[in-house]
């Protein structure tokens, strides 16, 4: 069956360190992989999208890698700040208009 797994339910790190979140998937061949941030009771907020033919994408303190051989994406937040504390969702889609299939999320906490 198809499955998207994010490395852990919760991750706690010290402010200023790099947070690394992992997304692994099985039985999918997605065209796009996206990362979203979600705060409690709010809608997911788009962060980054990476295509299957791209290896890496960056945006400010964020970096995403996509390895279609390993079926894995890594999401990095450098110089982490307490304001980065949230749940981060990995999401896969097959085409531009297709539904997003979300992973279960990783709750990231950055302690001062």
Partner 1 sequence: AAGVIQSPRHLIKEKRETATLKCYPIPRHDTVYWYQQGPGQDPQFLISFYEKMQSDKGSIPDRFSAQQFSDYHSELNMSSLELGDSALYFCASSSQSSGSYEQYFGPGTRLTVT
We find the least distance from the C-beta atom of residue 14 to partner 1, in angstroms, to be: 26
Residue with tokens 């299957």: 52
Residue 16 has a CB neighbour count (10 Å cut-off) of 11
Q: Does 74 bind partner 1 (CB under 8 A)?
A: no
Q: Which is nearer to partner 1, 45 or 79 (CB)?
A: 45
Q: Which stretch binds partner 1 (CB under 8 A): 18-26, 29-37, 58-66, 71-79?
A: 29-37
User: Cα–Cα distances in Å, from 97 out to 48, 49, 61, 92, 100?
Assistant: 17, 14, 28, 12, 9
Give me the least distance between CB of 64 and partner 1, in Å please: 13
Q: Does 28 bind partner 1 (CB under 8 A)?
A: no
Residue closer to partner 1 (CB basis): 15 or 65: 65
Euclidean distance between CA atoms 17 and 4, whole angstroms: 26
For position 34 contacting partner 1 by CB under 8 A, the verdict is yes
In the block, tokens 């947070």 appear at 19
- Binding test (CB under 8 A) with partner 1, winner from 30, 103, 108, 110: 103
Strand pairing report for 106-111 and 10-14: parallel
């Amino acid at each position: 069956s198809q499955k998207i797994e994010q490395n852990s339910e919760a991750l706690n790190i010290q402010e200023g360190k790099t947070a690394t979140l992992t997304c692994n998937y099985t039985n999918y061949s997605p065209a796009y992989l996206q990362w979203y941030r979600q705060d409690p009771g709010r809608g997911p907020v788009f962060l980054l999208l990476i295509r299957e033919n791209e290896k890496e994408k960056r945006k400010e303190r964020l970096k995403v890698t996509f390895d279609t051989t390993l079926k894995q994406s890594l999401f990095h937040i450098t110089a982490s700040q307490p304001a980065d504390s949230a749940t981060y969702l990995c999401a896969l889609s097959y085409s531009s208009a297709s539904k997003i299939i979300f992973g279960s999320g990783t709750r990231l906490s950055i302690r001062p």
